[in-house]
Amino acid sequence: MARKPTPAGTPQTTGVGHVVDLVRAAIPPLHPAGLPFVLVPLGVAAVGRKRKWIRRAGLLSAGACATFFRHPHRVPPNRQGVAVAPADGEVALVDSAVPPAELHMGSEPVPRVSIFLSVLDVHVQRSPVGGAVRGVTHKPGEFLSADLPDASDKNERNSMLLETADGQYVAVVQIAGLIARRIVCDAKVGDTLPIGDTYGLIRFGSRVDTYFPHGTKLLVERGQRTIGAETVIAQLP
């Protein structure tokens, strides 16, 4: 690979390698769960390449799926005792609510932040805190619009309970939406997740609720946009 020095003396990739570097910098990586959704329409485009409308439809579909399943690199904050957004999206609720029963966090309301993901948002989910996975439970349910308050109780969901190093319990719940039909959770009981680590994904439009211990100070407002793994949403007690 050819290299030539910049005026400042820093090596710079040229030729094909430079183009590849630019593409990698501009296009986020693809989450593995999205690979079949990209390869199938690409295959259709290849098979139907002699028909312009088939080729274009296949390429457009592959591009749309690649955009949906994008998995951008994120850098969590170094601050101690904070929780980050588990997803990209819009804060739908900042309140107190009783956690799902399967989490065994009691029957008293605790601080909660709910984030709604549109089909245009990055759809991977990230650990809001660093900690050990103490529980993972999938519960079947309905597919109401994810921006409705009832979605937390009635929709299909996957709940994960985390215990931080100092013994605080934080729960994050993936909730299916109106057109979401698949929740992916790669975390298992006994795993240890760093803060901001990707652990799951929801297809195609969804919501993520995070429940915190009493005494937590919530740091976001309804309507605010969040960046998964980077936006600080709470200060733990």
Residue 3 amino acid letter: R
pLDDT at position 52 is 78
Tokens of 220: 């976001």
Kindly name the residue from 114, 127, 152, 206 that is annotated as catalytic. 206
pLDDT at position 232 is 98
Dihedrals phi, psi of 222, to nearest 5 degrees: -60, 135
How confident is the chain (237 residues) per 10-residue block, as mean pLDDT?
48 49 54 66 72 76 64 86 96 95 93 90 90 94 68 83 96 81 87 95 82 97 96 97
Roughly what angle, to the nearest 10 degrees, separates helices 52-68 and 35-47? 170
Find residue 201's DSSP bridge partners. 124, 184
Taking Cα atoms as reference points, which of 129, 80, 159, 115 lies closest to residue 229? 129
Q: Helix, strand, or coil here: 118?
A: coil
The answer to whether 127 is a known catalytic residue is no
pLDDT at position 94 is 97
pLDDT at position 186 is 93
Handedness of CA 175, 159, 124, 59 (dihedral sign): negative
pTM of full prediction above 0.85:
no
Domain 82-235: homologous superfamily in CATH: Glucose Permease (Domain IIA) (2.70.70.10)
Residues of the chain within CATH 2.70.70.10 domain(s) are 82-235
CA angle 88, 133, 179 (to 5 degrees): 40
